[in-house]
Structure 1
Amino acid sequence: MRRNTSIVLLSVGHACVDIYQGAVAALVPFFIAERAYAYSVASGIVLAASLLSSVAQPVFGALTDRWAMPWLLPVSTLLGGVGIALSGLSGSYPLTLAFVAISGLGVAAYHPESARVARIAGQGSHRAMSWFSTGGTIGFALAPPMVAAVMATGGLSRTPLLAVPALAGAAICLPVVRALRRGQAAGSRMTVPAGSDDTASFVKLSLAVAFRSIAFIGLSTFISLYARQRLGGGTAAGTAALTVLYLGGAIGSVLGGSLAARWDRVTVSRWSYLITAAAIAGVVWVPGPALFLFVALTSGGLYVPFSLQVTLGQDYLPSRVGTAGGITLGLAVSIGGLAGPALGSLADATSLHTALAPLVLMPVLSWLLLRTLSEPDVPRPRTEAPAREDAADAALGPTPADSR
């Protein structure tokens, strides 16, 4: 399988999985409408998906650094879809939390292995990783209109229809899994520099990603309700705002890879966070339809550094790329959901406007952390394969742990 084909398939598969991350926030207004949940109770649903995912991602990252587990791609995709499909079938709040948590576990299992495979398939290319990240962003963007369309057919009882992307995503993963197995059978090897981990920089980067995540998940949880309150446009206004928040990220992800080719990744990420802070301030305080413009700017600003941070994390921890990918692509992103109940409680006690205001500070904190970082000088991974193998096939070899 050629490199471009592998990246395309991985990107589409990533979209199918991240639909279920976006679906959690997209379902919140419908849980509130049908079950009369308070903001804090509804945000607990987002917390359920994030909490288990946050605990599980480092575990899966460590496992994928030790053993190649490409079978996780289709299995975790199905698990993510099944959880969301079942979430609307029971009126029981604990069962709803359990099903959403199952979906979060599937998402947690997917990201470390997929980040490892994408790095190998793209041969360490920043642009390849940006396309892979863009796939996930598109999945986020597709979630609100998809959820709205399904809910329009019969409300929460129709959530089983949301399993369709998981079935498609699992099928798309299979050719990549087969290519990985062929590469392993051919004896291809992936080499990484030994003893070059920069753990301190990686921790700072992870904290920056976590602050970014608090801003993104806080907005994705409440922007739909906030737009409906601010603009009085009903469900359509809320769905549009959430879609803009997710779709703008697709542009930001691709732009990030292009900007990093001209400037270094750390510099691009710093400027992006400064712009994001101003954009979130516009979301909170600028009145009228300009809300959509500032939501789009916020989305782009949050996603320009997203794929860059994934590759930065892998370059700070070159001997543990599964762990690095699991944290920067998964754990640090999921951890933002832990702030959801606090924002929900603040919204219940005051207003959504007041609850969203602290989010302006999150990208500022990310910017401060990135000021302490420098571009890592780490050699790119090299694939060593038998001469009879095509170089693109060899790019889908075993894990770094296999070569050791």
Structure 2
Amino acid sequence: MSRNKSIILLSVGHACVDVYQGAVASLVPFFVAERAYGYAAVSGIVLAASLLSSVAQPLFGALTDRWAMPWLLPVSTVLGGIGIALSGVSGSYALTLAFVALSGIGVAAYHPESARIARIVSGGRHTAMGWFSLGGNIGFAAAPILVAAVMAAGGVRFSPLLVVPALVGSVLCLPVLRALATPANTNSATVGPRGTDDKASFVKLSLAVVLRSIVFVGLSAFVSLYAQQRTGGGTASGSAALFLLYLGGAAGTVLGSRLADRWDRVTVVRWSYLIAVAAVAGVVFIPGPAIYLFVALTSVSLYVPFSLQITLAQDYLPTRVGTASGLTLGLAISVGGIASPLIGVLADNTSLQTALAPLVILPALSWLMIRTLPEPTLAAVAEPASAPPLRSR
């Protein structure tokens, strides 16, 4: 199998998994409409998907650093889908939280191992990792459309239909895993990484990722409701804002990998966070339809660093690629959900605008974390435990 085909299959599989990260926020307006949940209640649902995922992701990363577990890709994909599929079946808030948490564990198990395999298949190329990341962004962008279509068919009780992407994704990854299971690829894929860990830079990068995650997940949880308030529209106007937030991420990921070919990754990430400060401020404070422009700009500026931060983390921590991937690829999405209940409680007691206003500051703090980071040199970067003899074209 060619490397290009392998990356495409992994990218589509990534999309099928990240549908379920996007589906949590996409379901929020429908839970509010059908079950009369308040801001604190819906932020608790986002927390349920995020908390276990945030804790489990580094653990799965550490495990994949010690043992190759490619079987996690199909298993975790199905688990992520089953959790979301069951979330609308019961009217019980506790069961809804449990099913969403189950999906979060599936997503947590998927990301470290999938990033490790993508690094192997891609030979560590930034552009290939960008395409892999793009798959996840497209999954995010598709979630509001998919959820809205299913909800239109019959409301949250039709949520079992949402298991379909998981079934598709679990099948698509199998050819890649079979190709890696050949003796030549297995030997190449298990060669230990070479290089020296730069733990200080990795910690700074991780802090920047956490702050970025709080901004993105906070907006994901509430931007649909906020857009309805600012434009006076209904649920369709809210779904449009969430779709732009996710779709802009796909554009930002592609743009980031292209810009990194011209400038170094740290410079691109640094400037992206500065632009994000102005973009988030526009979302929070500019009224009317202009909110959609700033939502798109926010998404692009927050996602330009996305795949670049994955490869930077892997290069800062070359002896622990699974851990680095888990803390940046998965944790970048999930950890922000921990802050969502605080945003919800503040919104219930003040206003949604007041609750979202602190998010403007966080990209500036990410910029401070990134500002002094070094760009890993060729001598310092580990050769990926990769370059199996997959054909390249």
TM (norm. structure 2) is 0.96
After TM superposition, where is structure 1 displaced by more than 4 Å over at least 4 residues in a row?
Answer: 183-186, 189-193, 382-385
* Local SS of the residue matching 1:392: coil
In structure 1, the partner of 2:255 is 255
Q: CA deviation at 1:195?
A: 5.3
In structure 2, the partner of 1:379 is 381
Deviation string 1:256-283 (CA, Å, 9 cap, x unpaired) is 0000011010100000000011001011
In structure 2, the partner of 1:43 is 43
Distance between the aligned counterparts of 1:332 and 1:6, measured in 2? Answer: 24
Asked if 1:230 is matched to 2:230, the reply is: yes
Q: CA deviation at 1:287?
A: 1.6
* Local SS of the residue matching 1:391: coil
* Local SS of the residue matching 1:16: helix
* Local SS of the residue matching 1:178: helix
Q: CA deviation at 1:177?
A: 1.1
**Which deviates more from structure 2 when the two are superposed, residues 323-332 or residues 296-305?**
323-332
Q: CA deviation at 1:332?
A: 3.8
**Structure 1 residues 63 and 393: alpha-carbon distance in aligned structure 2, compared to 1, 3 A threshold:** farther
Asked if 2 retains the 8 angstrom alpha-carbon contact of 1:2 and 1:392, the reply is yes
In structure 2, the partner of 1:207 is 207
Distance between the aligned counterparts of 2:189 and 2:342, measured in 1? Answer: 47
Distance between the aligned counterparts of 2:185 and 2:127, measured in 1? Answer: 28
Asked if 1:31 is matched to 2:44, the reply is: no
Q: CA deviation at 1:70?
A: 0.7
Deviation string 1:318-353 (CA, Å, 9 cap, x unpaired) is 011011001101124311100000000011011111
TM (norm. structure 1) is 0.94
Q: CA deviation at 1:193?
A: 5.3
**Structure 1 residues 382 and 91: alpha-carbon distance in aligned structure 2, compared to 1, 3 A threshold:** closer
Q: CA deviation at 1:182?
A: 1.2
Write the letter of the residue equivalent to 1:361. Answer: I
Aligned counterparts, 1:391-402, within 5 A: 391-392=389-390
**Structure 1 residues 384 and 232: alpha-carbon distance in aligned structure 2, compared to 1, 3 A threshold:** closer
In structure 1, the partner of 2:345 is 345
Q: CA deviation at 1:188?
A: 2.8
Distance between the aligned counterparts of 2:264 and 2:386, measured in 1? Answer: 28
Aligned counterparts, 1:11-160, within 5 A: 11-160=11-160
Distance between the aligned counterparts of 1:382 and 1:351, measured in 2? Answer: 48
Asked if 2 retains the 8 angstrom alpha-carbon contact of 1:190 and 1:381, the reply is no
Q: CA RMSD for the aligned pairs?
A: 1.6
Asked if 2 retains the 8 angstrom alpha-carbon contact of 1:70 and 1:113, the reply is yes
Q: CA deviation at 1:372?
A: 2.2
Q: Give the count of matched residue pairs.
A: 390
Deviation string 1:108-149 (CA, Å, 9 cap, x unpaired) is 000000000011111010111111111000000000011011
**Structure 1 residues 213 and 384: alpha-carbon distance in aligned structure 2, compared to 1, 3 A threshold:** closer
Asked if 2 retains the 8 angstrom alpha-carbon contact of 1:207 and 1:332, the reply is no
Aligned counterparts, 1:185-334, within 5 A: 187-188=187-188, 191=191, 194=194, 196-334=196-334
Structure 2: any 5+ residue segments left out of the alignment? none
**Structure 1 residues 251 and 186: alpha-carbon distance in aligned structure 2, compared to 1, 3 A threshold:** closer
Distance between the aligned counterparts of 2:371 and 2:287, measured in 1? Answer: 32
- Identity across aligned pairs (percent)? 71
Deviation string 1:243-302 (CA, Å, 9 cap, x unpaired) is 000001101000000000110101000000000110010111112211111000000000
Q: CA deviation at 1:374?
A: 1.0
Asked if 2 retains the 8 angstrom alpha-carbon contact of 1:74 and 1:171, the reply is yes
**Structure 1 residues 203 and 363: alpha-carbon distance in aligned structure 2, compared to 1, 3 A threshold:** same
**Structure 1 residues 288 and 103: alpha-carbon distance in aligned structure 2, compared to 1, 3 A threshold:** same
**Structure 1 residues 59 and 137: alpha-carbon distance in aligned structure 2, compared to 1, 3 A threshold:** same
* Local SS of the residue matching 2:69: coil
Write the letter of the residue equivalent to 1:274. Answer: L
Distance between the aligned counterparts of 2:9 and 2:373, measured in 1? Answer: 33
**Which deviates more from structure 2 when the two are superposed, residues 199-208 or residues 182-191?**
182-191
Distance between the aligned counterparts of 2:258 and 2:115, measured in 1? Answer: 19
Asked if 1 retains the 8 angstrom alpha-carbon contact of 2:194 and 2:382, the reply is no
**Structure 1 residues 84 and 189: alpha-carbon distance in aligned structure 2, compared to 1, 3 A threshold:** closer
**Structure 1 residues 165 and 384: alpha-carbon distance in aligned structure 2, compared to 1, 3 A threshold:** closer
Write the letter of the residue equivalent to 2:383. Answer: P
Write the letter of the residue equivalent to 1:226. Answer: Y
Asked if 2 retains the 8 angstrom alpha-carbon contact of 1:70 and 1:180, the reply is no
Asked if 1 retains the 8 angstrom alpha-carbon contact of 2:121 and 2:386, the reply is no
Asked if 2 retains the 8 angstrom alpha-carbon contact of 1:195 and 1:319, the reply is yes
**Structure 1 residues 382 and 90: alpha-carbon distance in aligned structure 2, compared to 1, 3 A threshold:** closer
**Structure 1 residues 384 and 22: alpha-carbon distance in aligned structure 2, compared to 1, 3 A threshold:** closer
**Structure 1 residues 189 and 9: alpha-carbon distance in aligned structure 2, compared to 1, 3 A threshold:** closer
Structure 1: any 5+ residue segments left out of the alignment? 395-404
Q: CA deviation at 1:362?
A: 1.0
